Amino acid sequence: MAGPAEPPRPEETAGRGVGARPAVTILDDPVPDTVHDPTDAIGVGLSLLGVALTMFLASFAHGTTTGLAADVQGLDGLLRQFVIVPAAILERVVALVVPLVVLAELVLRRAVRQAGTSLLAGVVGIVLCSVVVVGLREIGTGSLVRGLAVTRDGGPELTVPVSLSMVAALLTVAGPRGRRRSVAWSWGAVWVTVGISLVTAQAAPLGSALALLLGRATGLAVRYLVGVRTDRAYGTELADAVRRAGLEPVSITRRPAAGHRRYALVTEDGRHLELLVLDGDRQVVATLSRLWEAVRLREVGAPPLSARETAEHVVALTSLVRETGAGAPAVHAVAVARDSTVIVQDEAGMATALAQLPPEQVTDELLHRIWEQLRRVHRCGVAHRGLSSRTVRADLSGPVPRVWFTHWESGTVAASELLRRADLAQMLTLLALRVGTARAVASARNELAPTDLRALAALLQPVALPRATREELRRRREVLTELRAALVGPEPGADGAPEAGAAPGAGTTPGGGVEPVRLVRLGGRQAFTVTVAAVAVVVVLTTVNLEDISAALTRGDWRWSVAAFALGLLTFAGVATTYVALSPVRLPFWRAVRVQVAASFVALAAPAGLGPAALNVRMFTRRGVATALALATVALVQVSQFAVTVLLLVVLSVLSGASAAPVPTTSPATLVTLAAVVGTVGAALLIRPLREWLGRTVLPVVRQTWPLVVTLGSHPRRLALAVLGNAVTSLGWILALYCSLASFGEHLTAIQVAIVYFAGNAAGSVVPTPGGIGSIEVALIAGLTALGVGPGVAVSATVLFRVVTFWVQIPLGWVTLRHLMRRGAL
């Protein structure tokens, strides 16, 4: 629903209507000077999405955008003599005069604060656009720059007009064009300037679009952070809305409530009613939340509605429900005040929310009335969809308890059987939280058919419950497990609830074999896959230089390239062998290999090493390993890889220098460096906060890992297998880089190639870029150049190495990841 309730700060005011109308006592919060409109935040996101789309078009729709620019600019020769001078004048008018005119109007209208905010947005727009332009010139790919450039003097020139960004940001904050004439004229001048600049080849279409989107995003961001004047109805405006609905208010008192604003209304004829106020800006957040639920959930997600549609929805639902005799507030009138929609409805009278009733007051008779009311609601084809301890109310003042269902904003007409059963599951869960599992299930057995009762076990999932109930369940996690066990027996093979964090329906069969109903259309795993794929596409499209890759592949010997690709695949088997050797449970080798292949895709969306590590932790937890033990195992694998790598470097250095220096010696510089390192570490450990931090971070990992090390020491076969796997992994990468160099006729010693590779890998770990993109390439090229390899060969060999050992593996990783997720292995 909507956001949290505003903090109550009541102030008593008095208002008098026209003529002889009586005074109205209004207890309401003071009208806020500004509010943070969530629409602005949404606009920032959409503008940034437009920026990303513009850059995508500039990079990969270069032919189309260039043709469009050529078509538009083809009129340049004909129109230049007529428009070039007016265009130059208009550009300066828009950049210099328009901001001054708009700011002057704001000051004259005494909107000094808005004028200052507009000026701030304009300055930020200049800075942001300038930074983007510098970044494009320094690190932008050739195709991206060409897409944002115009051709001058035979070459491309980047054109992203900073002045457009400034003006767009300033006008966005200055206000809507419908309210300020200067803003309307200014936007018109901006669009005319953009059109003339395109015709006269002063700017590229996508460059102008990028500047406008950056300015728009800046203006919306500043407006959201600073706030805008509220358009909600408060105080006397609510009283006027009630009068327009045909009622004469005597008092209007704000009530503390989560979600929409609610007021107690007393009318001149003595009636006690309630005002439900739906604010347009808050409804935007509710609409987004419902839209996400509609996408993510199957049927149980509420459809998105505007404030006025929500009011119409509530009127229709409550009218239909009351026809069945169920307790629901009757709606008397609906009115609109500014950006708020006001619903005048019955008050619940003496009814009290179940959350406020002590368990002893929830009698068996009251439980019977609650189930009876819910059956009446369902008989007319309506589902409430939000039954919680806050929306179910009980009036205990009479001889027979009376039950009310409130908050019908998310209800549904012509509800399916699944939605009605979801209501039953929500009711059973909230009653269990109030009176205990035994009494709740006993009351349900008295009211529901056995088949319906058993079917509820499949819907006892957090995703099917309203937010208020989920918050209560966080403090009593055992309730759902107890309800399943009470309905259809204990869960097989478990003494309690399933492992914390396990997704509903992911490999579990709660309720003695009853398979949970799949309610989630887009769950965590699907969202993870989509997010990683989106990040991968963005990374590929913005970093890959296809021309360099094509040149490197055509110049090199294809046989060495195939060998490098095969060695890159061999590393998957090496890593899998290490995990099989160190695994605390039996781990199939080919399953481990597939997980490492899938990790090559995940690595594209996370810094080097983090994505594969997280995927391997998931591999262990899905096989029943505790999370702490899985983390310790992955840490042990990484430590073993480091140890074997150091040992391998020593062996390669001895073998590489065996012919030239039969007895290797250690230089004095090496000894001095080692002594300096040891001394620095020892001095650092004298600092108490550093020692305490190491104790908190390192010692727990050591305590978790040490039992695995001890166990490994008593199994020489597993130890040898782990060493073999790490050696195969390291040698696979080293030889792949060697083959990439050999493809261009360059041959280095094994130790030289190893040092260059591990230096590049370390750079990828230190600089947290997805997949080590950029940092690894720079380090490899620098290392190869330092060893005497020509710059051209170093660049080509590095490009070839990364293509065959990283980029080509990404599609394989994506296919494997999808396969493993469908099989439930991840």
Residue 386 and residue 427: Cα distance in Å, rounded?
9
* Residue 213 binned pLDDT confidence (cut-offs 50, 70, 90): very high
Residues 6+ apart with CB under 8 A from 367: 431, 435, 439, 440, 443
What phi and psi, each to the nearest 5 degrees, are found at residue 666?
-95, 125
Candidates 222, 224, 226, 228; CA nearest to 127 is 222
pTM: 0.54
pLDDT for the residue 513:
46
Res. 20: pLDDT tops 60: no
How high is the mean pLDDT of the chain?
75
pLDDT for the residue 430:
92
Q: H-helix or E-strand containing 557?
A: none
**Hey, what amino acid is at 1?**
M
Of 493-497, 749-753, 754-758, 760-764, least confident by mean pLDDT is 493-497
pLDDT for the residue 427:
93
Res. 64: pLDDT tops 60: no
* Rounded alpha-carbon distances, angstroms, from residue 552 to 28, 574, 764: 71, 28, 22
Res. 502: pLDDT tops 60: no
pLDDT for the residue 218:
92
Query: What pLDDT, in 10s, does the model give residues 593-624?
Result: 888 888 888 776 555 556 688 788 888 888 87
pLDDT for the residue 658:
42
Q: What's the half-sphere exposure (Cβ side, CA atoms, 13 Å) at 605? A: 20
* Residue 702 binned pLDDT confidence (cut-offs 50, 70, 90): low
* Residue 370 binned pLDDT confidence (cut-offs 50, 70, 90): very high
Where does residue 293 rank: exposed (0-12), middle (13-18), buried (19+ CB within 10 A)?
middle
Res. 386: pLDDT tops 80: yes
Query: What pLDDT, in 10s, does the model give residues 351-366?
Result: 788 888 888 888 889 9
Residue reference for tokens 């050696």: 727
Res. 158: pLDDT tops 90: no
pLDDT for the residue 538:
55
pLDDT for the residue 2:
39
Q: Give CA 455 to chain center in angstroms.
A: 34
Candidates 764, 297, 819, 299; CA nearest to 529 is 819
Query: What pLDDT, in 10s, does the model give residues 438-447?
Result: 999 999 988 8
pLDDT for the residue 550:
58
Query: What pLDDT, in 10s, does the model give residues 661-688?
Result: 333 444 454 445 445 555 666 666 667 7
pLDDT mean over 212-235: 86
Give the burial string for 354-368 (b: 16+ CB within 10 Å, else e). Answer: bbebeeeebeeebbe
pLDDT for the residue 360:
85
Res. 167: pLDDT tops 50: yes
Query: What pLDDT, in 10s, does the model give residues 756-772?
Result: 887 777 666 655 566 66
Query: What pLDDT, in 10s, does the model give residues 779-811?
Result: 788 888 888 887 777 888 888 888 888 888 888
pLDDT mean over 68-92: 52
Res. 141: pLDDT tops 50: yes
Q: Pinpoint the alpha helices (H) of 148-279.
A: 162-174, 181-199, 205-226, 236-244
pLDDT, greater one: 450 or 34 = 450
Q: Which of 606-615, 631-640, 650-659 has the highest mean pLDDT?
A: 631-640
pLDDT mean over 454-462: 83
pLDDT, greater one: 552 or 723 = 723
Q: Per residue, what are the HEC states of 148-180?
A: CEEEECCEEEECCCHHHHHHHHHHHHHCCCCCC
Res. 826: pLDDT tops 60: yes
Of 86-95, 290-299, 753-762, least confident by mean pLDDT is 290-299
pLDDT, greater one: 374 or 612 = 374
pLDDT for the residue 539:
52
Q: What domains can you pick out in the chain, each with its CATH number?
A: 11-32+231-346 (no CATH), 38-226 (no CATH), 358-488 (1.10.510), 545-658+715-822 (no CATH)
Q: Pinpoint the alpha helices (H) of 356-466.
A: 364-379, 417-435, 437-447, 450-455
Q: H-helix or E-strand containing 815?
A: helix 809-822
* Rounded alpha-carbon distances, angstroms, from residue 351 to 395, 402, 405: 4, 8, 10
* Rounded alpha-carbon distances, angstroms, from residue 398 to 272, 351, 352, 501: 19, 11, 13, 45
User: Contact at 8 Å (CB) between 315 and 331?
Assistant: yes
Q: Which of 284-288, 414-418, 479-483, 625-629 has the highest mean pLDDT?
A: 479-483
Query: What pLDDT, in 10s, does the model give residues 33-45?
Result: 677 777 788 888 8
pLDDT for the residue 303:
55
Candidates 579, 608, 542; CA nearest to 724 is 579
pLDDT for the residue 401:
87
